Amino acid sequence: MMTRTAPALRHPLARTLLGGVAALVAAPVISLALIAIGGDAALWPHLAAYVIPPAALDTLLLLAGVAVVCMLAGIGTAWIVTTYEFPCRRLVLWLLPLPLAFPTYIVAYVYADLLGGLGPVQSGLRALFGWRSAADYWFPNIRSLGGAVLIMGAVLYPYVYLAARAMFETQSVALIESARGLGATPWRIARDIALPMARPAIAAGVALALLEAVNDVGASEYLGIQTLTLAIFTTWLNRSSLPGAAQIACLLLLAVCLLLALERGGRARKRFTGLDARPGARHRAVLPHRQAWLALAACVVPILFGFVVPLIHLAHEVIGRGLRIGFDPSLARHALTTVWLASCATVLVVLLGFAAALAQRRIADATARVCFFIAGLGYALPGTVLALGLLSPLIAIDEAINAVTHAFGATPPGLVLAGSSAAIICAYVIRFLSISTGFAQAGLARIATELDDAARIAGARATAVTRSIHLPLLQPALWAAALLVFVDCLKELPATLLLRPLNLETLSTYIYQFAARGNFEEGAMAALLIVLVGLAPVIVIIRQLEGAAPRPAIGSCELSPAVAR
Amino acid sequence: MTRTLLPGLLAMAVLGTPAAANEVNIYTYRESKLVQPLFEAFTRETGIKVNSISASSGLEQRIKTEGANSPADVLLTADISRLEDAVQSGITQPINSAAVDATVPAQYRDPEGHWAAVALRARVVYAAKERVKQSAITYEELADPKWKGKICIRSGQHMYNNALFAAMIARHGEARTEEWLRGLKANLAQKPSGGDRETARDIAAGKCDIGIGNTYYWALMNDVEADRKPWAEATKVILPTFEKGGTHVNLSGVALMRNSPNKANAARFIEWMVSATAQQMHADLTYEYPTRAGVPLHKTIAAYGTINGDTTPLSQIAANRKKAAALVDKVGFDN
């Protein structure tokens, strides 16, 4: 034990960092709360009678459905690719995270096109069975709650997949091997060892997927789902009550906090530590022929619906239109802008998030836990609401800067933060910080604090402990978080739309200007560019997760000798 | 890493700050690709550079929070609600232009002069060519049980429907509009969803017989969007009217910002938007009805028939939109 000093004086650097990060995320929340308090409750009888009940019901059903789909697809595929060797496994590893690169609303348009009354699927059925019109037969309506669950699940499962895989990949091989030696079936190993140990990470992944689903506006509106987030928008824009909208947003935020706290409480007493010291070096069971194909099929289904089908549809649109209207040369510039903004934000998010998680681990008191919790709240706000909340603090800082420069006799620079890309990067950092804090915390949770103590007793400095113990063990989580943040930044729309400086266009705002007019196909090229740009980090990160061990050529789909035998 | 990042950020910040130059800054709810040809034509004619940002919501709040430092000169919107919101949040000033007053009819201008319509779009009926024989219809008739299970429409909270329902309130009062909305809801073939194009698609697919949509969507599907041509071909546009009234129109409008740093250029831009050149571009490129008299309509729009616009002033329609939103909630229109 170190010498006892007053709590505030211990770890001053870690405390400043945690406090600063929490303040950054709290700023838009506080400004939102101020807007909410500034209004009255006159609208609430109406909201409570007609708006909230159906919206809450739709939201709950949507979230429950998306959670089930994401967990089935995400955990299932993560378990299969970490435990088994099967044909095309390398290719599958590449493809599994990719649905993430599609904005949800674009995928919603794609499926409405494909499965709609005049789409290829129903036309094919009509031709096959000789039906004349949609009135002659029953076909499930994709613009429905069920449709929304499947579409969002297909696009959002990678959050769970990446979180679960980063954990499975670093789980103690010894533990699993002993269980197998004792005769446990793979199912029991998954249920009793791997899943409980990965639970914090899976919870973080599911939370991200669900917050993404609940904060979606484009797809929900298009598919006719009445979510609470849509209620925020209609209250703001049609019921002309920004305070009322802020009040709903604050309540939604409270509900999210409560759920997150409950989940954390639920596993507070269960601590699982135990790591594979050599991530990526674990042995994968080679599956016999038939089972190998089953494993492949299980991984291909989510890839097919979340990635391949939308990709082919968009590519088809690009080719069809490209020949007619040509390629917009400004897209290259927008792609560069997008990558630049996303890169800045990703570096900041990963640095701040992991530093905050390490700081919280060192301080480990109630204040630190609250600060850390606050740091993860940015994702719980719809992007537009976050952007609205961020405007006031940013402009307040700008005005202070202007006042100071004016006092020194210089020309005030105007809106330095709010009028530049800094506003967008700031919004990205606040919004996506919970990805890195969540992944870092889940990763750290499995490193026994006794390990830190032992190293410290042996005379290692705190920084050395972090460098030689935490960071190597956290690497898979770190890379997975970086990938998620980067791709999320690439496709972020609502905050970018509202906060961007004059004349700035990103790929997602470029797509949106067509989608807003109901003509998303014109933006298909930009949607493909997002996927293409997202592919680069996927490749880098898969390499990192797989370790440096020699592997068959990437994308190789040949049966390995062991399987072909 | 942050050390190399900060100078970059600052550089971008400085570059991003508009310097005092011959330019005008436009915040727009109309998508930038759509209005880009107008901006380019304005720059060609006047030498004034146009900087713009487009967004789907929140521009009034942004301009209001930006306050005295706001670079915004002009706000462009695609409906009346956002214009009224802008006026009410105190970010506008009177346009005070004799040219605008002389060109835009009074019912399409703010009585206080804070906004003006530069083009109009009507909210009309798309009907199945084969299954719907009638060639005239009233909005009131949409609640007639004879259409039971035959109507498609997008969300009742979408701004275009919100304005139509507000116009109904302005004409018939809340009680009768509520009854009408219940009737319309009972006639729907499916839960409100999608957009106006999907309404045409659903009619073409046989899901419903009639639907509500804006005038320009049908024209775009028919003239421009080759793969949606079948949707337009399966449907026809009927210009509906209110009983003893005209067709509901909404606007594409423009407002002058209170803290406009380039006010002279802004005024020039607004006046240019109602000039013969710009009005012709609105008719041809965005398939809207020009607000300037004597500008010929696009032939596809003209083929809908002669439009007789509802005479209720747009400001009065805007005043009823909160009530319209409340009624949509009350009758569970979107549920």
User: How many CA atoms lie within 13 Å of B6's alpha carbon, on the beta-carbon side?
Assistant: 3
Rounded Cα distance between A235 and A241, Å, is: 6
B-chain residues near A521 (CB < 8 A): 227
Rounded Cα distance between B57 and B34, Å, is: 17
CB B237 within 8 A of CB B215: yes
Please calculate the CA angle B9-B14-B15 and round it to the nearest 5 degrees: 95
Query: What's the token pair of residue A429?
Result: 């950092």
CA distance B51 to chain A (A): 6
* pLDDT above 60 for A280: no
Higher pLDDT, A93 or A539: A93
Query: Using the beta-carbon criterion (under 8 Å), do A518 and B13 form an inter-chain contact?
Result: no
pLDDT in tens, A397-451: 999 999 999 899 888 888 989 999 999 999 999 999 999 998 898 888 878 888 8
CA distance A231 to chain B (A): 10
CB A114 within 8 A of CB A120: yes
Q: Of B201, B200, B228, B233, whose CA–CA distance to B214 is shortest?
A: B200
CB A498 within 8 A of CB B58: yes
Please calculate the CA angle A441-A445-A447 and round it to the nearest 5 degrees: 125
Q: Residue A88 — left, alpha, or beta (φ > 0 → left; ψ -120 to 50 → alpha)?
A: left
Q: Of A161, A80, A175, A200, whose CA–CA distance to A443 is shortest?
A: A200
B-chain residues near A421 (CB < 8 A): 9, 12-13, 16
Pairing of strands B235-238, A285-286: unpaired
Containing H/E element for A188? helix A186-189
pLDDT in tens, A96-150: 998 988 889 889 989 988 998 788 888 888 888 888 777 778 888 888 999 999 9
How many residues are there in chain A? 565
Query: Using the beta-carbon criterion (under 8 Å), do B12 and A420 form an inter-chain contact?
Result: yes
What are the angstrom distances between the C-alpha of A10 and each of A2, A367, A441?
Answer: 10, 13, 21
Query: What's the token pair of residue A242?
Result: 């920004």
Rounded Cα distance between B151 and B131, Å, is: 13
Give 3-state DSSP helix, strand, coil % of chain A, rounded to 5: 75, 0, 25
- How much is the pLDDT for A454? 87
**pLDDT tier at A282 (50, 70, 90 boundaries)?**
low
Rounded Cα distance between A187 and A83, Å, is: 11
CB A441 within 8 A of CB A204: yes
Residue A34's contacts (CB-CB under 8 Å, 6 or more residues apart) are A392
With tokens 């909404």, the residue in question is: B250
Q: What is the pTM of this model?
A: 0.88
Residue A272's contacts (CB-CB under 8 Å, 6 or more residues apart) are A196, A197, A199, A445, A446
For chain B, the straight-line distance linking the first and the last C-alpha, in angstroms and rounded, comes to: 51
CB A557 within 8 A of CB A88: yes
- How much is the pLDDT for A270? 60
DSSP string across A35-87: HHHHS-STTHHHIIIIIHHHHHHHHHHHHHHHHHHHHHHHHHHHHHHHHEE-T
CB A39 within 8 A of CB A239: no
* Other CB atoms within 10 Å distance of the CB of residue A414: 23
CA B33 to chain centroid: 16
Query: Using the beta-carbon criterion (under 8 Å), do A117 and B202 form an inter-chain contact?
Result: yes
Rounded Cα distance between B222 and B228, Å, is: 7
* pLDDT above 80 for A174: no
CB B273 within 8 A of CB B254: yes
**pLDDT tier at A548 (50, 70, 90 boundaries)?**
very low
- How much is the pLDDT for A1? 41
Rounded Cα distance between A452 and A462, Å, is: 8
pLDDT in tens, A150-167: 999 999 999 999 889 888
CB B115 within 8 A of CB B87: yes
- How much is the pLDDT for A558? 47
Q: Of B41, B52, B40, B99, whose CA–CA distance to B76 is shortest?
A: B52
* Other CB atoms within 10 Å distance of the CB of residue A556: 14
Query: Using the beta-carbon criterion (under 8 Å), do B198 and A402 form an inter-chain contact?
Result: no
Rounded Cα distance between B56 and B29, Å, is: 6
CA distance A23 to chain B (A): 19
CA distance A391 to chain B (A): 7
What is the average pLDDT value for chain A, to the nearest integer? Answer: 85
- How much is the pLDDT for A467? 84
pLDDT in tens, B3-22: 444 444 444 444 444 445 79
What are the angstrom distances between the C-alpha of B234 and each of B11, B141, B206?
Answer: 55, 22, 10
Rounded Cα distance between B36 and A416, Å, is: 27
Query: What's the token pair of residue B136?
Result: 């005239």
Query: Using the beta-carbon criterion (under 8 Å), do A143 and B190 form an inter-chain contact?
Result: yes
Rounded Cα distance between B68 and B88, Å, is: 17
- For residues A245-259, give the mean pLDDT: 91
Query: What's the token pair of residue A496?
Result: 């970018």
Pairing of strands B289-290, B92-93: unpaired
Burial class for A460, CB neighbours closer than 10 Å (0-12, 13-18, 19+): middle
Identify the weakest region by mean pLDDT among A236-250, A397-411, A464-478.
A464-478
Residue A556's contacts (CB-CB under 8 Å, 6 or more residues apart) are A88, A90, A91
* pLDDT above 80 for A263: no
Rounded Cα distance between A307 and A513, Å, is: 23
* pLDDT above 50 for A345: yes
A-chain residues near B78 (CB < 8 A): none
CB B81 within 8 A of CB B162: yes
B-chain residues near A54 (CB < 8 A): 332, 335
pLDDT in tens, B235-276: 999 999 999 999 999 999 999 999 999 999 999 999 999 999
- How much is the pLDDT for B138? 97
* SS3 at position B310: coil
- For residues B46-56, give the mean pLDDT: 94
CB A82 within 8 A of CB A96: no
**pLDDT tier at A565 (50, 70, 90 boundaries)?**
very low
Query: Using the beta-carbon criterion (under 8 Å), do A418 and B66 form an inter-chain contact?
Result: yes
Identify the weakest region by mean pLDDT among A103-117, A236-250, A481-495, B9-23.
B9-23
Rounded Cα distance between B199 and B276, Å, is: 34
Identify the weakest region by mean pLDDT among A49-58, A95-104, B180-189, B325-334.
A95-104
Q: Of A245, A243, A240, whose CA–CA distance to A230 is shortest?
A: A245
Q: Which residues pair with B250 in a beta bridge?
A: B121
Query: Using the beta-carbon criterion (under 8 Å), do B332 and A418 form an inter-chain contact?
Result: no
Q: Residue A183 — left, alpha, or beta (φ > 0 → left; ψ -120 to 50 → alpha)?
A: left
Q: Of A211, A267, A242, whose CA–CA distance to A434 is shortest?
A: A211
Query: Using the beta-carbon criterion (under 8 Å), do B16 and A118 form an inter-chain contact?
Result: no
* pLDDT above 60 for B1: no
